Structure 1
Amino acid sequence: MISQSLINAVLDTALSTGGDFAEVFVEDRTVNRMGMRGGIIENSLSGRDFGVGIRVFKGLGSAYAYTTDATPEGLHQAARRAASGVRGLPEMPTNATVWGDTTGCRHSLCEERAPSKHLIERNPQFVQRGEKAQVMREAYDIAKNYHSSITQVSVGYMDEEQKVLIANSDGKWIQDVRIRSRLSISSIASDGNKFESGFYGPGAHKGFEFIAGLDLEHYAGEASRIAVTRLSAVPCPSGKFPVVIDNEFGGVIFHEACGHGLEATSVAKGNSVFANRIGEKVASDVVTYIDDGTLENEWGSLAVDDEGEPTRRNVLIQNGVLKGYLIDRFNSRRMNMPPTGSGRRQSYRFAPTSRMTNTYIANGSSTPKEIIENTEQGIYAKYLGGGQVNTATGDYNFAVMEAYLIENGKITTPLKGATLIGNGPKTLQLVDMVGNNLGHGQGMCGSLSGSIPVNVGQPTLRVSEMTVGGTREGA
């Protein structure tokens, strides 16, 4: 992408005002998107974005600049802007530990290439649009023909290839290529009086082989089934109930209510309910919570993070006990703890910070059938929708896209208007049964460093008591 000699010179410029660490992040990204509505391709867009981000640390301060001008003049100008941001800042405290220099060749760039953990069989950049459109048409037909009440189906296709180069003043020089593919299906059903929607959006850190191998009968059919089921739903009762949350995207509630509170972005500033609590009991014994960026070809996986650190399996909570946090390089200085391969960013326009990759509750010993049968009266949340969380307190509320009553240990009536309201740490304490059917759902997570692909996951589990907000009859 850019020569080592030029990168070395840019790093020197970035350190020219007294910074103690500098980093260059070079990104070359190609994205292809297609959208289908009514069986017709409505849009087909391809784009390429290239840019460079330059970051400088001095003590517990940092500055960031980026540019799309990769000429020597443009890069040095951006480096000078970043350098000016740390001018006059205090040095690193003498009692602090700085993690780095992992290459053993500080101030002399040592070239690496990210290990090939996520094999790609068919690079989507070399697949004809006609072949991509054919998969979309098949998904459309399955979803549209699922039931006579389906009035509209939209299918979205996306693939991207992101090439990155990360170099820093500790001697790191590493390159990586990330390829992701995703298909999304949205269905709308109507009975003549009201409309209901359903959605499914599988994605992976894979090439077109992932799209070509999808079980479209399942994914497209499920999007329509959700919409059709919601047409016959009755208003959800309000109150406190045992709640069984299904696997896969059910994990979004813990991603939002707990995962963000375990990121150093919040923890380092003391803005998290989990700050300074390592070794404490923060969840029930049946809860083990993990973030693992190494899972093969998963949507949120990377060989290295956006600071060039190898991703890893970070056990955050083990059998209810808090074991660690997700830590990026800058916040490792604030916390005096080593980075965990968790520095991520949307693009070169953002400085990286601590973010999740594939975060999930590990398998337990119960079966989903046992969990339902052991719940006399309660709510079954099959698919969750959007929600809000306050990371400082852990308070959250989430809409449930598809919910049912549980009566006498059986799933019965579909419900509408269900909302789960609670507090993340308290909810962790109230998980009393965890299933053995771990599944992952794909999504995009927004935070300080932009929007990034993440997996959320869990087995089917039960929370012994949650506040459920419902919908009044006729609302």
Structure 2
Amino acid sequence: MKPLVDFVFKERPEDVPTERKVALVEASDRAARTEGGDLIKQVIVGYGDVVQKVVIANSAGDYVEDERIRTRLVVQAVAASGSVIQTGNEAVGGLCGFELFAGCPPEQVAAAAARRAVQMLEAQPAPAGKMPVVMAGEAGGTMVHEACGHGLEADLVQKGTSVYAGKRDQVVAAKEVSVVDDATIEQRYGSYRYDDEGVPSRKVKLIDKGVLNDFLYDRLSASREGKPSNGHGRRESYQHKPIPRMGNTYIAPGKTNPEQIIRETKNGLLVKKMGGGQVNTTTGDFVFDVAEGYLIKDGQIGPMVRGATLTGNGPEVLRIVEMVGSDLGYTIGTCGKDGQGVPVSDAQPTLAIKEIIVGGTTRGRPEGQIRRI
């Protein structure tokens, strides 16, 4: 069984001297401290790479060998002024080797984390209430992944614990919204040649112009409906069972210039980076932290705010998307489900959402929080 896509690893991690990796971490630390000066009190830099060799054989006669190389860099900078302490985070990663840093210089990643931490020291408290929200492309796809993507995993749909159960071919979002999961994208953190059942990865259109079109299947959930898997049976390791999981999930870009979206939003909140949060896959209800946000006043980006949260319902929010930008911004993460963590990417263009409830204080999160890196 041949894959539909092949990936070339240009600079394998095991060929990179340890000294070079250490130098990358040290350079990131220096860049963050240089960017933030004396206001930066702590910098944590995490570099990681993994070379995974996978062999899959089953009773149907399928035999697949695969190699997966993933590399990532995570930077956290802590800034303090008086009694105010703020944190900035940045992360990059992909299904690739050390060539990741040719397009994502570690110094720039670290400086961005420090800059956000310092800027947040002067940010004003976020207002509370129901208001228009613009989700910038650079915020990444946390919203679509958590408030929509999990509900499109076939095992949850078949159990009746997904808000999308029984809604195939029905309108579930604005006509401007299309949601895709594509594990074939080169160098993305959630990409793979084969899933963990030996099925080639492929592009799956989940929501097509507002209409629910498909779900994410592994072999078991697909067999229940008499169809083949579409390549989303994933597991953390050989010690875990395959279950339907996301790979690279995103809202497809539209045609509107992102700057135009901001200009046409008279007043509201601009979200440039998302934090963690909570989602109920059965109802679609969510609460997310805003890691970087700005007020929009008269179509212009206004002052930075801190402590904002977004509260709403995933399907309802997708129904009230009014404009979709032409850009596309990615974030990476480790997605947890049934005690398993797998690498994923998620993305979105700039979105104009008619209204979301904005909370002005950050809420503590109990166990089960979403892990973003």
Range class of TM-score, shorter chain: over 0.9
Matched, 1:224 2:110: no
The one-letter code sitting in structure 2 at the alignment partner of 1:135 is L
How far apart, in 2, do the equivalents of 1:267 and 1:248 lie? Answer: 30
Matched, 1:145 2:38: no
How far apart, in 2, do the equivalents of 1:471 and 1:363 lie? Answer: 31
Matched, 1:268 2:158: yes
In structure 2, the residue corresponding to 1:466 is in which secondary structure? strand
1:468/1:116 CA distance change after superposition, 3 Å: closer
Of 68, 77, 84, which residue of structure 2 is paired with 1:178? 68
In structure 1, the residue corresponding to 2:327 is in which secondary structure? coil
Question: Runs of at least 4 residues of structure 1 off by over 4 A?
Answer: 112-116
Of 182, 191, 198, which residue of structure 1 is paired with 2:81? 191
How far apart are 1:209 and its partner, in Å? 1.7
Q: Residue 117 of structure 1 aligns with which residue?
A: 6
Matched, 1:424 2:320: no
How far apart, in 2, do the equivalents of 1:261 and 1:137 lie? Answer: 41
Q: Residue 42 of structure 1 aligns with which residue?
A: none
In structure 2, the residue corresponding to 1:268 is in which secondary structure? helix
Q: Residue 136 of structure 2 aligns with which residue?
A: 246
Q: Which has the larger radius of gyration?
A: 1
Q: Residue 9 of structure 1 aligns with which residue?
A: none
Q: Between Structure 1 and Structure 2, how many residues are aligned?
A: 361
The one-letter code sitting in structure 2 at the alignment partner of 1:314 is V
Q: Residue 259 of structure 1 aligns with which residue?
A: 149
Instruction: Spell out the pairing of 1:360-379 with structure 2 (5 A cutoff).
Output: 360-379=250-269
How far apart, in 2, do the equivalents of 1:159 and 1:114 lie? Answer: 23
Q: Residue 446 of structure 1 aligns with which residue?
A: 336
8 Å CA contact retained: 1:373, 1:410 = yes
RMSD of Structure 2 on Structure 1 (CA): 1.4
Of 317, 327, 330, which residue of structure 2 is paired with 1:437? 327
Instruction: Spell out the pairing of 1:48-447 with structure 2 (5 A cutoff).
Output: 117-148=6-37, 149-211=39-101, 213-447=103-337
How far apart are 1:213 and its partner, in Å? 4.8
1:128/1:217 CA distance change after superposition, 3 Å: closer
How far apart, in 1, do the equivalents of 2:224 and 2:56 lie? Answer: 22
8 Å CA contact retained: 2:330, 2:347 = yes
How far apart, in 1, do the equivalents of 2:225 and 2:356 lie? Answer: 34
Q: Percent identity?
A: 45
The one-letter code sitting in structure 1 at the alignment partner of 2:7 is H
Moved more, 244-253 or 355-364: 244-253
In structure 2, the residue corresponding to 1:145 is in which secondary structure? helix
How far apart are 1:411 and its partner, in Å? 0.9
In structure 1, the residue corresponding to 2:99 is in which secondary structure? helix
How far apart, in 2, do the equivalents of 1:405 and 1:249 lie? Answer: 15
How far apart are 1:116 and its partner, in Å? 6.3
In structure 2, the residue corresponding to 1:378 is in which secondary structure? strand
8 Å CA contact retained: 1:350, 1:449 = no
How far apart, in 2, do the equivalents of 1:236 and 1:325 lie? Answer: 37
Q: Residue 35 of structure 1 aligns with which residue?
A: none
How far apart, in 2, do the equivalents of 1:134 and 1:314 lie? Answer: 40
RCO (CA 8 Å, sep 6+): is it higher in 1 or 2?
A: 2
Moved more, 118-127 or 291-300: 118-127
Unmatched 5+ stretches in structure 1: 1-111
8 Å CA contact retained: 1:351, 1:449 = no
Cα deviation per residue 1:269-314 (whole Å; 9 max; x = unaligned)? Answer: 1111111211110000110100001001211000000000000000
The one-letter code sitting in structure 2 at the alignment partner of 1:242 is P
In structure 2, the residue corresponding to 1:202 is in which secondary structure? strand
8 Å CA contact retained: 1:119, 1:297 = no
How far apart, in 2, do the equivalents of 1:206 and 1:339 lie? Answer: 26
How far apart are 1:333 and its partner, in Å? 2.4
The one-letter code sitting in structure 1 at the alignment partner of 2:145 is H
In structure 1, the residue corresponding to 2:231 is in which secondary structure? coil
Cα deviation per residue 1:341-369 (whole Å; 9 max; x = unaligned)? Answer: 00001111110100000000011111111
How far apart are 1:211 and its partner, in Å? 3.2
In structure 2, the residue corresponding to 1:201 is in which secondary structure? strand
How far apart, in 2, do the equivalents of 1:114 and 1:375 lie? Answer: 44
TM-score, length basis structure 2: 0.94
TM-score, length basis structure 1: 0.74
8 Å CA contact retained: 1:306, 1:343 = yes
8 Å CA contact retained: 2:3, 2:201 = no
The one-letter code sitting in structure 1 at the alignment partner of 2:298 is N
8 Å CA contact retained: 2:5, 2:184 = no
1:351/1:449 CA distance change after superposition, 3 Å: farther
How far apart, in 2, do the equivalents of 1:431 and 1:218 lie? Answer: 32
How far apart, in 1, do the equivalents of 2:134 and 2:314 lie? Answer: 16
The one-letter code sitting in structure 1 at the alignment partner of 2:194 is V
How far apart are 1:137 and its partner, in Å? 1.3
1:115/1:244 CA distance change after superposition, 3 Å: closer
How far apart are 1:125 and its partner, in Å? 1.5
How far apart are 1:449 and its partner, in Å? 5.9
8 Å CA contact retained: 2:40, 2:118 = yes
In structure 1, the residue corresponding to 2:117 is in which secondary structure? helix
How far apart, in 1, do the equivalents of 2:215 and 2:222 lie? Answer: 10
How far apart, in 1, do the equivalents of 2:66 and 2:5 lie? Answer: 9
The one-letter code sitting in structure 2 at the alignment partner of 1:412 is G
